[in-house]
Amino acid sequence: MHIVTLRDPSSPVAAQFVADAGMIGTSLTESGVELLGQRRGLSAYISAGKTMGIPILYPWANRLSTNTYTAETETVTLKPGVNGVRTDPAGLPIHGVLAAYPGWQVTAQSANEVTAELDFGADPTLLASFPFPHVLAMTVRLAERTLTVRTTVTATSDRAVPLCFGFHPYLNLPGVARPDWVIETPSLRQLYLDEHGLPTGQTARQPAMSQPLQDQAFDDCYDQVGDAAVFAVSGGDRRIEVHFERGYPAVQIFAPAGEDIICFEPMAAPTDALHRGGYRVARPGEPGVAVFSIRV
């Protein structure tokens, strides 16, 4: 596979993305030290959709509450195991249909920037699960110690495209024990989840916080994330910030027990929004744009 390596002209930070495997970010390093959770590696992502690095979750992030959803007057029945649909242990569709999808085309590339596009509407198997023709584009730029990911959804028919996607950046602080990691979040509204990880409808305000991770585990959903919100993990002499620059009003914070990773997942809509509603759309002639960045 062709691996695109981006280098920051002003620092020892580098990144790698693989368009042939779903435009996944596989590496983010500083002076050769890996800062992304590798988990089971790229091969497991390609063969079984096991996430690592920075995968895109598209066209929905996290899980749906049912195999049938109605969006923009279109009713869709998903078939687990067919057309890219994967399920969680409870049998719920999870993380969309583009895991390791090979149809991305690199359209521009330089030493520190790459753009890749996917004509979603050109593949009937993709439209079977998400019948909204569009072009999906990702531009990734590395500069001033910051990896910026810009995602653009451009409708290619007279139908609006629901924006419910997200990313899953697995961050790691090498050389620092997990209990000593300090996490920081802005003020948010927590969405209480049921045993399947789906919003119950109950909410609570959470003030801005800064605290050691210690032995805590997270798999929690929040909304009312403002543009320019910053999430961070720090420890030792390193700090990694995730900036929700625009278009990501929701976040899932994921830090499983026993694994040295934490994720601040930018989401264009909360979990199950494709089924419940409450999402933005990209209308014909009005592309939907979302941007997040990771600063080392």
pLDDT > 70 fraction of the chain, expressed in percent and rounded: 100
Side chain identity, residue 145:
R
DSSP 240-270: EEEEEEES--EEEEEE-TTSS-BEEEEESS-
> What residues make up the domain containing 115?
3-295
From 87, 143, 129, 171, select the one nearest 274 (Cα to Cα): 129
* CATH assignment at residue 235: 2.70.98.10
Residues in the chain: 296
pLDDT tens profile 130-144: 999 999 999 999 999
- Is 134 in contact with 58 (CB distance < 8 Å)? no
pLDDT tens profile 51-93: 999 999 999 999 999 999 999 999 999 999 999 999 999 999 9
pTM for the full predicted model: 0.97
Q: Who contacts 177 (Cβ-Cβ below 8 Å, separation ≥6)?
A: none
Mean pLDDT score across all residues of the chain: 97
**Residue 214, class by beta-carbon neighbours within 10 Å (0-12 exposed, 13-18 middle, 19+ buried)?**
exposed
Pairing between β-strand 188-193 and β-strand 288-295 as defined by DSSP bridges: unpaired
- Is 125 in contact with 84 (CB distance < 8 Å)? yes
Structural domain tally of the chain?
Answer: 1
CA–CA separation, 158 and 81 (whole Å): 29
Query: Other CB atoms closer than 10 Å to residue 290's CB: what's the count?
Result: 23
CA–CA separation, 160 and 45 (whole Å): 30
pLDDT tens profile 230-265: 999 999 999 999 999 999 999 999 999 989 999 999
Mean pLDDT in residue range 143-165: 98
pLDDT > 90? residue 1: no
Side chain identity, residue 263:
C
pLDDT > 90 fraction of the chain, expressed in percent and rounded: 99
- Is 95 in contact with 49 (CB distance < 8 Å)? yes
pLDDT > 90? residue 179: yes
CA–CA separation, 213 and 177 (whole Å): 10
